[in-house]
Amino acid sequence: MSLSAVELVLVRLPLLRPFRTSFGTLTHKEAILVRAAGDDGVEGWGECAVAEDPLYSEEWNAGAWMILRDYLAPAALAGTSPSVKGHPMAATALEAALLDLRLRREEVSLAAHLGGVRDRIVCGVSLGIEEDVDQLLEQVRRFVADGYRRIKLKIEPGWDVEPVRAVREAFPDAALSVDANAAYGPEDAGHLAGLDPLGLDYLEQPLPKDHLLAHADLQARLETPICLDETLTSPHVTEEAIRLGACRIVNLKVGRVGGIGSARAIHDLVVRRGVPMWCGGMLETGIGRAVNLALAAMPGFTLPGDTSGSDRYFERDLTEPFTVDADGTMAVLDGPGIGVSPIDEALREVTVRRHLVGT
């Protein structure tokens, strides 16, 4: 049994409401799905987590499409390693599809393959920047009522201490954190210290991703733990960040670190270091969300992550919907591979284009 073809599928799903961050406002989710087709009729699926534009990272969908089409997929079909530098999210999508194909053949779930120890994970939700504090409070109220165990608020200069204080006053017992998406500079240390009295679980990625020493300096000035996201691109960088004291918490995103294998290595490193960790999200469809769910079942993921329900973003997901129960948990999938596949009708409705590599 071997790989016979790789298909790329570009999809665009409207979001239920705009999602604003410091690097832009999203009104829809555009993603590349990768279908790995075996000569035995078995298929595996993966999702590329990049966005339509290179705003969160250097990758974007048009570039990832070309890398997958012209380099990564042909190499996989030839059984060779592509001589491509970078492009971790594109590589992750193909790796996930190939692993899903293999595990479906073996009838093993991805969670079991990764050594998952949970049959349910604790869920958190990430909320974008709103037009005003009243709208923000309304969104927080909704998701607290839905049972989510952690509320994360996006912040940027001009929208930080005061709206976060308003949320803390309205929800004094909520597990609350904030995410800056690298919107601040080292000169903002004094201002960011204004978050310390608000009892946050962490401040995520306050500075640009290559500012390791500056993050260490900032952490020394803050009571609030720093969590790194964009900075942590590999096991090596993660080890350096922990050793330097640049973060006390790790956000692990499988696409950002180049695939499930790299994510597993970082997980094991973080566990050895005794650092709390959680699984980040990128507004994935059900294909990418299934991978995140399996990762979050591993023992090192001790904090609520971004694995929200499908109804957080989409009226209709590509797969069977992911749901959060009233206790704020979600069931880990135990079917072969990632445990889900796209629903044909749902996929057709949102497909922008397709390209088949191979026969």
Active-site annotation, residues: 154, 253
Cα separation of 31 and 67, whole Å? 14
Instruction: Tell me the β-bridge partners of 203.
Output: 178, 226
By the 10 Å C-beta count (0-12 exposed, 13-18 middle, 19+ buried), 288 is classed as buried
Closest listed residue to residue 204, CA positions, set 22, 30, 18 = 22
Cα separation of 127 and 137, whole Å? 11
Cα separation of 287 and 264, whole Å? 19
User: Quick one: tokens of 202?
Assistant: 């962490």
| Sheet of 24-38, strand order | 43-48, 24-38, 3-21, 351-358
Radius of gyration of the chain from its Cα atoms, rounded to whole angstroms? 20
Instruction: Please list the helix, strand and coil fractions of the chain in percent, rounded to the nearest 5, in that order.
Output: 35, 25, 40
Neighbours of 42 (CB within 10 A): 16
Alpha helices in 5-78 (DSSP H): 61-67, 73-78
Cα separation of 155 and 221, whole Å? 19
Cα separation of 178 and 126, whole Å? 9
